[in-house]
């Protein structure tokens, strides 16, 4: 990172309207001067229709992807398709895994030192895919690969704040495990409210923007890169705090990306049971990603 705090962010997602929302959010909340590289159609719309405190450049097609990625400090990947009614996780995996692997190969070539923020689902599998691609390219650095689980945290905080009637800004609910279904484990007891866990009972969640959550995590990465101390967020990363190779928990971000992975801390009986219950599914998702990366 340069002393001028000029941060280059690439969002290589040719068909995802979330790009516009995320760039708009990040341009307002970030303290740094940002240069965005986006697919041309989105860049054109942003430059022509939104007031942004950043520079925006567009690229057209796969032939310009290397130019867009070159020199990026952060690459945000929301690429792929969202899960639609009737679509199984296998359906989602088959589409997004191919896209993710292709983009990771380009990242390994053109900006191997960038922090990579993975939004494309299923994150429980796409992060292991990315790790294997980087390992095969000789560019893997566990400090620079993040599964963005911020939306789970935002939802948990919003739910808890509404339940106990306090401002969301005053709430801190770590969310650990993975980023799908049963693998998502909010640690409400660490905010002092185990009754909220039973009240939730796996139902309902705040309907909040993935673009906003992605922007929040990207801003945290920017703060870390620029030397702001004590930046802590939850993320799905390579981890040794459980017997699984990847796990979401609180992490500290710094100038080199991931600086510390925090342990789980004390768990309630309910949460301990949830932790043991999520492990088989999360393990299977991780193994599926690794197998895909090495067979395709």
Q: Which CATH number fits domain 151-285: 3.90.110.10, 3.40.50.11720, 2.60.40.420, 3.30.1490.100?
A: 3.90.110.10
Check if 6-148 and 151-285 are the same fold: no
**More confident position, 161 or 286:** 286
For 36-65, write each residue's pLDDT tens digit.
665 544 444 544 445 455 677 777 777 888
Q: What is the pLDDT of residue 32?
A: 53
SS3 labels along the chain: CCCCCEEEEECCCCCCCHHHHHHHHHHHHCCCEEEEEEEHHHHHHHHHHCCCCCEEEEECCHHHHHHHHCCCCEEEECCCCCCCCCCCHHHHHHHHHHHHHHHHHHHHHHCCCCEEEECCCCHHHHHHHHHHHHHHHCCCCHHHEEEECHHHHHHHHHHHHHHHCCCHHHCCCCEEECCCHHHEEECHHHHCCHHHHHHHCCCCCCCCCHHHHHHHHHHHHHHHHCCCCCEEEEEEEECCCCCCCEEEEEEEEECCEEEEECCCCCCCHHHHHHHHHHHHHHHHHHHHHHHHHHHC
For 197-211, write each residue's pLDDT tens digit.
444 444 433 334 677
For the question of residue 5 being annotated catalytic, the response is no
**More confident position, 270 or 24:** 270
Q: What is the pLDDT of residue 103?
A: 87
**More confident position, 61 or 238:** 238
Q: Looking at the predicted structure, is the pLDDT value of residue 17 above 60?
A: no
Among 144, 179, 283, 288, the active-site one is 179
Residue with tokens 């808890």: 160
**More confident position, 39 or 121:** 121
The stretch 87-105 carries a mean pLDDT of 82
Picking from 54-58, 71-75, 153-157, 250-254, which range would have the lowest pLDDT averaged per residue?
54-58
Q: How confident is the model at residue 257 (pLDDT cuts 50, 70, 90)?
A: very high
**More confident position, 225 or 46:** 225
The stretch 190-194 carries a mean pLDDT of 53
Q: Which CATH number fits domain 6-148: 1.10.10.350, 3.40.190.10, 3.30.479.30, 3.40.50.720?
A: 3.40.50.720
Going from N- to C-terminal start, the domains of the chain cover 6-148, 151-285
């Amino acid at each position: 990172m340069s002393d001028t705090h000029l941060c280059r962010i690439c969002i290589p997602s040719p068909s995802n309207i979330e790009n516009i929302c995320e760039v708009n959010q990040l341009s307002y909340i970030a303290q740094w001067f940002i240069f965005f590289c986006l697919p041309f159609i989105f860049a054109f719309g942003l430059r022509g229709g939104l007031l942004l405190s950043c520079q925006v450049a567009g690229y057209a097609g796969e032939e310009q992807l290397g130019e867009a990625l070159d020199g990026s400090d952060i690459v945000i990947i929301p690429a792929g398709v969202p899960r639609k009614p009737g679509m199984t996780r296998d359906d989602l995996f088959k589409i997004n895994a191919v896209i993710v692997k292709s983009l990771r190969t380009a990242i390994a070539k053109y900006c191997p030192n960038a922090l990579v923020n993975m939004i494309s689902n299923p994150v429980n599998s796409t992060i292991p895919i990315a790790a294997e691609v980087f390992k095969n390219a000789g560019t893997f650095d566990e400090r620079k690969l993040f599964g963005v689980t911020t939306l789970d945290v935002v939802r948990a905080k919003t739910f808890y704040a509404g339940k106990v009637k306090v401002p969301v800004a005053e709430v801190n609910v770590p969310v650990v495990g993975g980023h799908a279904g049963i693998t998502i484990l909010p640690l409400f007891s660490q905010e002092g409210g185990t009754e909220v866990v039973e009240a939730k009972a796996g139902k309902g969640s705040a309907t909040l923007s993935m673009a906003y959550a992605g922007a929040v995590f990207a801003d945290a990465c920017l703060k870390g890169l620029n030397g702001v101390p004590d930046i802590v967020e939850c993320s799905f990363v390579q981890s040794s705090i459980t017997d699984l190779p990847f796990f979401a928990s609180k992490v500290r971000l710094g100038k080199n990306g991931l600086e510390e992975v925090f342990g789980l801390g004390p768990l309630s009986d309910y949460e301990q049971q949830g932790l043991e219950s999520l492990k088989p599914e999360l393990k299977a998702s991780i193994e599926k990603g690794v197998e895909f990366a090495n067979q395709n």
